[in-house]
Amino acid sequence: MDPITLLKKMVSFQTINPPGNESELAGYIGGLLEPLGFQTEYYEFAPKRTTLIARFSATLNQASICFTGHLDVVSLGETAWTKDPFAGEIEGDKIFGRGTSDMKAGIAAMISMAMELHRTKPALLEKIMFVFTAGEETCCEGAYHITGLKNVLGRAKVMVVGEPTSNYPLVGHKGSVRFDITTFGKAAHASMPELGDNAIYKAARVIAKLESFDFKIAAHPLLGSPTLCIGRISGGKNINVVPDRTCMGVDIRTIPGQNHGQIKSALESALGSNVEVILLEVARSVASDPEDQWIKLVFSIMKKLLGTKIEAKTAAYFTDASVLYKALGNPPTILLGPGEAHMAHSKDEFCHISKIDEAIRAYLEIVTQTK
């Protein structure tokens, strides 16, 4: 099967999260890998929320390379698409559909790489472990599930994450810590606000503090400084009632040296005792050493393929590597996939077909040259 036909088929599986429903796609991919000699294992963290692990041995031997990607995609958004989001329509060098860039094209390239190796160099397949997760878009649910199970994942010497990078190798990404921050007041009739205590006014003061929040940590040489974004806010029930509660969702992108407990304590100290800070989700940052020999090998491979000098760069978004990295034994990790980062979560999402072919060549070279 050619990679574009494969990607069109994968896009046709509607794995929007929520609800996800990754099971059918996981089974389809497993059915492609088993004839190549892979043993497949399926793990559900909820009904129809399936993560696939495929490798050559049922024992937890240390694979040379873990190739990973996620099966779920985000919603279509509020704006109508001009393309069918589940048809894989082709226009010139672009294939359209939800998940083409983020990140079914990366998975299709990995599977196509395995098919090519089976045809030409089947012994090299023994180096590979595939981990295709459910629930990445909701803070790595599937990855957290499999790493919480005993004797499931094993170790890997290196890891390739097929997230959208336009095939430029990235050596890491920021983490994420998310909180609900709530202010409390006292309800009263809007005509007599002096009898109440307006939680929205309190939230405004909290927002001002968050806008200038100082993490008190030096910038990381590759990942830069942590960031904070208030992504949602709600408060009040009726316009004629003094609101007694306001809640805002806060997304913090982290760098090495930070942990969620320290950040929570710092927020509580800065915002005061009458503000509630509740931890929602955590994903750690990942940063591999650009001087690592395998990282330098990947840089060399991609310099030849892309025809450009490769410098150590990172992503602002997080990936399943946030969870898999430690569980696999902290292997050197590269983010490298054919998708376009700016297309992720966007209307009329697309991936360049030429980039998919390029990713297959990159993955083949990485497997061939990795010792």
How do residues 289-310 score in pLDDT, each as one tens digit? 999 999 999 999 999 999 999 9
Domains in the chain and their CATH numbers? 3-173+285-369 (3.40.630.10), 175-283 (3.30.70.360)
Is pLDDT of 58 > 70?
no
Confidence class of residue 268 from pLDDT cuts 50, 70 and 90?
Answer: very high
pLDDT tier at 146 (50, 70, 90 boundaries)? very high
Closest CA to 67 of 160, 149, 158: 160
Structure token pair of residue 322: 């946030």
Can you tell me the mean pLDDT for 207-217? 97
* 213 — pLDDT class (breaks 50, 70, 90): very high
Q: Any idea which of 55-69, 113-127, 323-337 has the lowest mean pLDDT?
A: 55-69
Mean pLDDT of the chain: 97
Average pLDDT of span 239-252: 98
Per-residue pLDDT tens for 7-39? Answer: 999 999 999 999 999 999 999 999 999 999 999
Both tokens assigned to 20: 């996800």
- The b/e string for 271-281 (b: 16+ C-beta within 10 A; e otherwise) is beeebebeeee
DSSP string computed for 265-318: HHHHHHH-TTEEEEEEEEE--EE--TTSHHHHHHHHHHHHHHTS------BSS-
Out of 60-74, 269-283, 347-361, least confident range: 60-74
Q: Would you state the pLDDT for residue 157?
A: 96
pLDDT of residue 290: 98
Q: Which of 341, 2, 44 is nearest to 10 (CA)?
A: 2
Cβ-Cβ contacts under 8 Å for 35 (sequence gap 6 or more): none
> Can you tell me the mean pLDDT for 48-57?
94
Cα–Cα dist 255/227, whole Å: 9
pLDDT at residue 104, rounded to an integer: 98
**pLDDT per residue as tens digits for the range 107-139:** 999 999 999 999 999 999 999 999 999 999 999
Mean pLDDT of 167-179: 98
- Is the pLDDT at 237 greater than 70? The verdict is yes
Sheet holding 128-133, edge to edge: 39-46, 49-55, 128-133, 63-70, 156-161, 333-335
Provide mean pLDDT across the span 65-74.
98
Whether the predicted pLDDT of 198 surpasses 80: yes
From residue 58, give the alpha-carbon distance in Å to each of 38, 61, 126, 305, 329: 9, 8, 12, 34, 19
Kindly tell me if the per-residue pLDDT of 328 is higher than 90.
yes
d(Cα 246, Cα 200) in Å, to the nearest integer? Answer: 6
